């Protein structure tokens, strides 16, 4: 676990690389269902649509977008269960 992961207290990581719309949102929804309020999920995706869609998803579902980290080959999105 990296330093930043420890700071955020990531509870679960979803590797959604290669998956396209709407599966990253679906997988995030299913993961959060199993989690407690306040826990953070990390979604790793290479789908540019998810970069826009997951923050909207978080807002619509009453969860909190914590951070987005963009690397060359992937995007890491952190959402805290609300």
Partner 1 sequence: MVEPAKPKGSVTIVVFSGDLDKAIASFVIATAAASMGMSVNMFFTFWGLNVIKKEGGLVKGMNWMQKMLNFMNYGHAKKLALSKMNMLGMGPAMLKVMMGQKKVPSLPEFISTARALGVKFYPCEMSMTIMGLTKEDFLDECGDVLGAVSYLAIAKDSDINLFI
Burial of 58 (0-12, 13-18, 19+ CB in 10 A): buried
The answer to whether the bond into 22 is cis (omega within 30° of 0) is: yes
Q: Minimum Å distance from CB 35 to partner 1? A: 12
Binding flag, residue 37, partner 1 (CB under 8 A): no
Cβ–Cβ < 8 Å for 13, 41: yes
Say how many C-beta atoms besides its own lie within 10 A of residue 10's C-beta: 19
Identify the residue among 1, 3, 6, 33 touching partner 1 (CB under 8 A): 33
**Catalytic site residue from 7, 21, 69, 82:** 21
Q: How far is the CB of 63 from partner 1 (least distance, A)?
A: 10
Report if residue 57 touches partner 1, rule: CB under 8 A: yes
Among 1, 6, 36, 60, binds partner 1 (CB under 8 A): 60
* Residues labelled as active-site residues: 21
């Amino acid at each position: 676990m990296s330093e930043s992961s420890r700071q955020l207290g990531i509870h679960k990581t979803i590797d959604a690389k290669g998956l396209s719309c709407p599966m990253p949102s679906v997988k995030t929804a299913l993961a959060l269902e199993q989690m407690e309020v306040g826990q953070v999920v990390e979604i790793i995706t290479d789908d540019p649509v998810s970069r826009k869609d997951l923050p909207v998803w978080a807002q619509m579902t009453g969860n909190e977008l914590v951070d987005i980290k963009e690397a060359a080959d992937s995007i890491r999105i952190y959402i805290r269960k609300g």
